[in-house]
């Protein structure tokens, strides 16, 4: 367990504090000190083993507390508001460090916080509680985009969607046309779908460019669309709305959203991006209607 106020022993060195859990388990001094040195290095405190808590900053003390928890190699680490007493800069650095550790050591972290921004940044899944009862459980995106009631909606009112919500979550389906299609047949596809534009894709469904009705009508019927399209910006579906902002704002055409295999999964443009950021209802349907 990692405590809010560190819970360190002032008369013990950093190394002794980190090894304390192993000491009370009866682990030999040599083994526990080696393990403590390893985890202190993991949390960035190598070289501070012989210092005392009074010589450390708040962020460094919290790292010692984290090292002490890691030394026992638990499968689950419980964090009780560990960063709430720290200034914003140190808190952000430790949050980033915790994300790195979670990826490297592959442990389950249970993290209690009253800071919604912190929960959204750190959590794979979030539990929102009220009066001791669970109100909603979900991923950060689910909590932000689909709050179950006004309580959750108020809880997340000030949260930044830009750095949490992923492009693939809000992308609108887009009509695609094979690169080998003729201009005449491409117009028929647009007519049947009720759209004025489409993404041109190769035989594997990977986006190559963008074409609109006016361009198709200005050329010969048999001209292949592969020679007519203009380049289209591309972004991966797992990138955030913030990542997409510059791509979307820099051009007049939609941005193609692709999956891990590079295949088209949808599009995002200025209207869709803004609607998702400000929580307009039914933003994907709205974009589809406006793009026709």
- Where a domain ends, among 163, 185, 202? 163
- Domain membership flag for residue 46: yes
Residues 25 and 131 in one domain: yes
Domain of residue 211 covers 168-278
Q: Smallest Cα–Cα separation from 91: which of 105, 111, 75?
A: 111
Contact 62, 69 (CB under 8 A): no
37 phi, psi to nearest 5 deg: -65, -40
Q: Smallest Cα–Cα separation from 7: which of 27, 21, 28, 22?
A: 21
How many domains are contained in the chain? 2
Residues 183 and 237 in one domain: yes
- Where a domain ends, among 147, 163, 179? 163
- Domain membership flag for residue 260: yes
- Domain membership flag for residue 291: no
Rounded alpha-carbon distances, angstroms, from residue 52 to 8, 27, 61, 234, 292? 10, 22, 10, 52, 67
**CA atoms within a 13 Å half-sphere pointing along the CA-CB vector of 196:** 8
Residue pLDDT, tens place only, 82-133: 888 778 888 888 888 888 888 888 889 999 998 898 999 999 999 999 999 9
Mean pLDDT of the chain, nearest integer: 86
Residues 144 and 20 in one domain: yes
Residue pLDDT, tens place only, 212-268: 888 888 888 788 887 777 888 999 999 999 999 888 888 777 899 999 999 999 999
Residues 208 and 92 in one domain: no
- Domain membership flag for residue 7: no
Residues 35 and 131 in one domain: yes
Which CATH number characterizes residue 195's domain? 3.10.580.10
């Amino acid at each position: 367990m990692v405590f809010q106020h560190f819970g360190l022993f002032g008369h013990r060195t950093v190394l002794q504090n980190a090894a304390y859990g192993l000491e009370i388990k009866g682990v030999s001094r040599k083994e526990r000190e080696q393990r403590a040195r390893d985890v202190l290095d993991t949390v960035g405190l190598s070289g501070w083993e012989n210092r005392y808590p009074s010589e450390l900053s708040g962020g460094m003390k919290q790292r010692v507390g984290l090292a002490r928890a890691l030394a026992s190699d638990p499968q689950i680490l419980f964090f009780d508001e560990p960063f709430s007493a720290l200034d914003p800069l140190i808190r952000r650095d430790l949050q980033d460090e915790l994300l790195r550790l979670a990826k490297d050591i592959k442990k389950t972290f249970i993290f209690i916080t009253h800071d919604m921004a912190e929960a959204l940044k750190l959590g794979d899944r979030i539990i929102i509680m009220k009066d001791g009862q669970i109100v909603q459980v979900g991923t950060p995106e689910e909590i932000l985009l689909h709050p179950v009631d006004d309580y959750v909606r108020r809880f997340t009112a000030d949260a930044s969607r830009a750095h949490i919500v992923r492009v693939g979550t809000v992308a609108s389906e887009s009509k695609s046309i094979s690169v080998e299609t003729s201009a005449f047949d491409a117009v028929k596809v647009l007519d049947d779908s009720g759209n004025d534009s489409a993404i041109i894709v190769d035989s594997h469904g990977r986006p190559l460019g963008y074409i609109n009705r006016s361009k198709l009508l200005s050329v010969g019927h048999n001209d292949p669309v592969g020679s007519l399209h203009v380049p289209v910006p591309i972004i991966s579906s797992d990138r955030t709305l913030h990542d997409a902002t510059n791509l979307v704002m820099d051009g007049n055409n939609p941005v193609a959203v692709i999956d891990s295999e590079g295949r088209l999964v949808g599009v995002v443009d200025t209207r869709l991006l803004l609607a998702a950021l400000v929580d307009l209802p039914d933003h994907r349907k709205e974009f589809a209607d406006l793009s026709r």
